[in-house]
Structure 1
Amino acid sequence: MSDNHLDSAVLAALQDVMEDEYPLLLDTFLADSAERLQGLRQCLQQADSHNLRLAAHSFKGSCSNMGARVLTDLCKQLEQAARLEQLGLAGVLIEQLELEFASVSSLLQEERCRY
């Protein structure tokens, strides 16, 4: 699974550490990420730059921990856009996050099926 979307070395390390709980970690990340994306969209709709920045920062950490490289980078960009109150750019970035999450989600579901 070594591609731009996920760092296979990070996933392998997580699998080693989590052992039997690894599938639960994948499930939790997928569910949590879907909720986080909904929260980002809600902050944008409310033009709440402050909470959008905080939510993007938190999601960035979660994505980084899972080795989701592109998601991490997009969250970093979104965090910066929110800091600068560039809500138009933030909307574009959230759309990109949603598309990238669809790819990551598919890959992680495949990974999940292996266990």
Structure 2
Amino acid sequence: MTDQHVDREALSVLREVMEDGYPELLDTFLTDSESRLVELRKTADAKVLSEVAHSFKGSASNMGAVRLAELCQTLESEAKDKSPSEIAMLVTDISNEFADVRPVYEDERQHALAH
């Protein structure tokens, strides 16, 4: 996993700041991300897509998921101008990126719980 996907420094800072709350923060991020992906997949409404992408971008950014945040930013800003097939491709990209980074956060959670 290259650093263009996950900002390890951001995770280190979160780990220090959150301390015992860190595993719960990771849990929340994973759960929220799953539900946001479901939302993105099931709606064709540009306004809803943009809103969900905006909140997803915020949490991805806070959690150091750099590329995921970029993809969400693209969807947020371009949802109203894209065709349904282009939106579907963006949502697929977001979904694939989350699938790629998810193990990083699951590993982080395991390590945090073990300490």
**TM-score, normalised by the number of residues in structure 2:** 0.90
In 2, distance between residues paired with 1:71 and 1:87?
A: 20
Given the alignment of the two structures, is residue 75 of structure 1 paired with residue 94 of structure 2, yes or no? no
CA root-mean-square deviation: 1.4
Given the alignment of the two structures, is residue 101 of structure 1 paired with residue 89 of structure 2, yes or no? no
Report the alpha carbon displacement of residue 80 of structure 1 after superposing the two structures with TM: 2.1
In 2, distance between residues paired with 1:23 and 1:58?
A: 21
Paired residue type of 1:111: E
- Give the structure 2 partner of residue 41 of structure 1: 41
In 2, distance between residues paired with 1:95 and 1:75?
A: 11
SS in 1 for 2:108: helix
Report the alpha carbon displacement of residue 85 of structure 1 after superposing the two structures with TM: 4.3
Note if contact 1:26-1:108 (Cα within 8 Å) is conserved in structure 2.
yes
Q: 1:76 to 1:69 in 2, by over 3 A?
A: same
In 1, distance between residues paired with 2:63 and 2:87?
A: 23
SS in 1 for 2:53: helix
Report the identity percentage.
Answer: 46
Q: Which structure 2 residue ranges, 5 or more long, are not aligned?
A: none
Number of aligned positions between the proteins = 112
